[in-house]
């Protein structure tokens, strides 16, 4: 996994199989939750995307390595909580002016 393209941004959607897990409507954010599997190495990732259409440059996404324990507990409404518990994550989008960076900082999904 360390040398795989799923570990180096920018990411391309064709490199992953994506399973939609629903929409998180908490606080009116309507975040899209998915589990992505890397086609090259099989690593699984929890991905969260949110964009506030009434605000420019508000699009942001987070992707964290998904453990079986995390996936067993996953619901669209607790995805942000699970991402916050991950030891690290990737983040990007127009809000961050980035196509992807690795981080350990806060998960910012609300306006």
Cβ neighbour number for residue 1 with a 10 Å cutoff: 11
Long-range contact set of residues 8-15: C-beta below 8 Å, sequence gap at least 24 = 9/90, 9/92, 9/98, 9/99, 9/100, 9/101, 9/102, 10/92, 10/99, 10/100, 11/63, 11/90, 11/100, 15/39, 15/40
Could you tell me if residue 10 is inside a domain?
yes
Could you tell me if residue 111 is inside a domain?
no
Higher-scoring residue by pLDDT: 55, 105: 105
Q: Which value, in Å, is the radius of gyration of the alpha carbons in the chain? A: 13
Could you tell me if residue 46 is inside a domain?
yes
Query: pTM value?
Result: 0.90
Contact in structure between 87 and 102 (CB atoms under 8 Å):
no
Number of folded domains in the chain? 1
Could you tell me if residue 64 is inside a domain?
yes
Could you tell me if residue 109 is inside a domain?
no
Q: List the domain range (segments joined by +) for residue 31.
A: 5-103
Could you tell me if residue 56 is inside a domain?
yes
Note the pLDDT tens digit of each residue in 8-50. 999 999 999 999 999 999 988 899 999 999 999 999 999 999 9
């Amino acid at each position: 996994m360390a040398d795989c393209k799923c570990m180096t941004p920018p990411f391309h959607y064709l490199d992953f199989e994506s399973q939609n897990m629903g929409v998180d409507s908490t606080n009116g954010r309507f975040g899209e939750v998915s589990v992505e599997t890397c086609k090259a190495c099989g690593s699984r990732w929890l991905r969260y995307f949110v964009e506030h259409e009434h605000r420019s440059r508000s699009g942001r996404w987070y992707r964290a390595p998904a453990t079986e324990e995390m996936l067993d507990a996953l619901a669209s409404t607790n995805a942000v909580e699970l991402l916050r518990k991950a030891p690290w994550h990737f983040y990007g989008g127009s809000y961050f002016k980035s196509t992807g960076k690795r981080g350990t900082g806060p998960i910012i999904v609300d306006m």
